[in-house]
Amino acid sequence: MKRVILAYGAAGGHIAKISDVISEVLRSHDIDVTFLDVNADREADPAEYDGAVVGASIHLGRHEKHMVEFIRTYVDALNRMPSAFFSASLEVEADPDEAKGLVEQFERETGWRPDRVALFGGALVHAHYGFARRHLMKRQDEGQKPGLGTDVSRDYVYTEWDAVRRFAEDFAADVNASGTHRA
């Protein structure tokens, strides 16, 4: 059975939800999935797996710094195995070119060349953010992205779940078609 590591940062929890859907699809293709919350644990070595999926979200104009550091540490192993990156943000809806540019910047900063890259719409779960963050995001939305999630009394989910499942199906095929990569 092939083994895949699925690494994500869990700032607000939506990346973890997308990761759950991806893992369900991979498991349905007989792939064993190990989750790694990079906020809590950066020690797991991707070299011990046959493939890697990494998810990061955009917060305040960039992907999480700790995820950049994690990738840099393991970039050689990641570039040798089937690997996939997904990014979640509001820019995907508001300004797709900006979202693409931030993914390219992430690739430049890390030196990682994932085989597959997907950009998914993120979520705004205002109830989780607390007053200060809600206020900050409301101002950010008003300034830069009119119409996206400005009503702080409700939540917004912009993720297209079918696109998430297709991304996972394609990656499952990559992993199952490739040899064993474990160190």
Ligand X SMILES: Cc1cc2nc3c(=O)[nH]c(=O)nc-3n(C[C@H](O)[C@H](O)[C@H](O)COP(=O)(O)O)c2cc1C
Surface-to-core class of residue 46, CB atoms within 10 Å of its CB (0-12 exposed, 13-18 middle, 19+ buried): buried
| Residue number with CB closer to ligand X (113 or 139) | 139
Closest Cα partner for 88 from 174, 177, 16? 16
Distances (CA, A) of 122 to 16, 91, 178, 180: 11, 9, 31, 33
Select the residue interacting with ligand X from 5, 81, 123, 175 (CB under 6 A): 123
| Residue number with CB closer to ligand X (118 or 124) | 124
| Residue number with CB closer to ligand X (47 or 68) | 68
Instruction: Candidates 24-32, 75-83, 108-116, 121-129: pick the segment binding ligand X (CB under 6 A).
Output: 121-129
Structure tokens at 39: 């906020």
Instruction: Candidates 12-20, 30-38, 41-49, 68-76: pick the segment binding ligand X (CB under 6 A).
Output: 12-20
Structure tokens at 34: 């190990």
Distances (CA, A) of 39 to 20, 68, 88: 17, 12, 17
| Residue number with CB closer to ligand X (49 or 120) | 120
Separation of alpha carbons 103 and 97, rounded Å: 10
| 122 touches ligand X (CB under 6 A) | yes
| 129 touches ligand X (CB under 6 A) | yes
Binding stretches for ligand X (CB under 6 A): 11-15, 57-61, 88-91, 122-124, 129, 133, 137
